[in-house]
């Protein structure tokens, strides 16, 4: 009789242990599945949000390739502005963001000024232009490099700034800023620090 009770007790303990193992395993699997589900949902939400932002950006902007603007500035000089890529936004359609930029100014005396840059901006209403990143300009026999340039149609001036270097037959020049008066075709040299003007005059 005692032996039979002992067997029943062992059987009950075994069933209890098996039951605990099954419950524990099921709980862990549920937790893992829930974690995977939350992670999957988070990833899907992030992707959906990124696609939504991209779609919204595309709706609010228009991109054109190999565009060309031309006209006359306030001084009566003809200009042609070319760009490999131009982007406009519905929030401000007058402002155009440019890539691979080339602006050519034809002056009344027959001389030509060419300005190139990797990036730029053009205001189709005011005709103002901005050039940035690897700015290069050529005027007669003078070559110029800088980080930034800005043409103001209202003032008729092209302001070239930030690491300006001019190479010309008469000598080389390093300065902070150059201002080219398009109307009068006069070049002014400015510096925030006199030590930054470095001229090498050739004889």
Name the residue among 112, 161, 165 with its Cα closest to residue 141.
112
| Digit-coded pLDDT (tens) for 131-152 | 999 999 998 888 989 999 999 9
Q: Is the pTM of this model over 0.95?
A: no
| Digit-coded pLDDT (tens) for 30-84 | 555 555 555 555 666 666 666 555 555 556 778 889 999 988 887 788 899 999 9
Q: What is the pLDDT of residue 65?
A: 93
Q: What is the pLDDT of residue 191?
A: 61
Name the residue among 48, 64, 44, 46 with its Cα closest to residue 56.
48
Q: What is the pLDDT of residue 29?
A: 59
| Digit-coded pLDDT (tens) for 150-191 | 999 888 888 998 888 888 887 788 888 888 887 777 777 766
Q: What is the pLDDT of residue 60?
A: 77
Q: Which residues pair with 123 in a beta bridge?
A: 95
State the Cα–Cα distance between residues 122 and 124, nearest whole angstrom.
6
Q: What is the pLDDT of residue 195?
A: 46
Given a cut of 60, whether residue 129 has pLDDT beyond it is yes
């Amino acid at each position: 009789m005692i032996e039979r009770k002992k067997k029943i007790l062992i059987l009950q303990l075994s069933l209890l242990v098996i039951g605990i193992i099954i419950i524990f395993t099921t709980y862990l699997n549920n937790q893992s599945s829930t974690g995977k589900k939350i992670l999957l949902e988070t990833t899907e939400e992030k992707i959906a949000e990124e696609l939504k932002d991209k779609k919204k950006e595309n709706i609010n902007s228009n991109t054109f390739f190999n565009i060309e603007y031309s006209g006359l500035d306030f001084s009566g000089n003809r200009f042609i502005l070319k760009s490999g890529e131009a982007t406009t936004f519905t929030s401000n359609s007058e402002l155009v963001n440019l890539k691979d930029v080339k602006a050519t100014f034809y002056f009344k005396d027959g001389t030509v000024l060419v300005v190139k840059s990797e990036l730029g901006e053009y205001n189709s209403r005011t005709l103002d232009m901005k050039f940035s990143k690897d700015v290069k300009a050529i005027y007669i026999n003078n070559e110029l490099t800088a980080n930034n340039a800005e043409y103001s149609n209202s003032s008729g001036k092209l302001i070239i700034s930030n690491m300006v270097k001019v190479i010309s037959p008469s000598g080389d020049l390093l300065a902070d800023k150059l201002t080219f008066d398009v109307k009068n075709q006069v070049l002014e040299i400015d510096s925030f620090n006199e030590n930054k003007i470095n001229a090498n005059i050739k004889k």
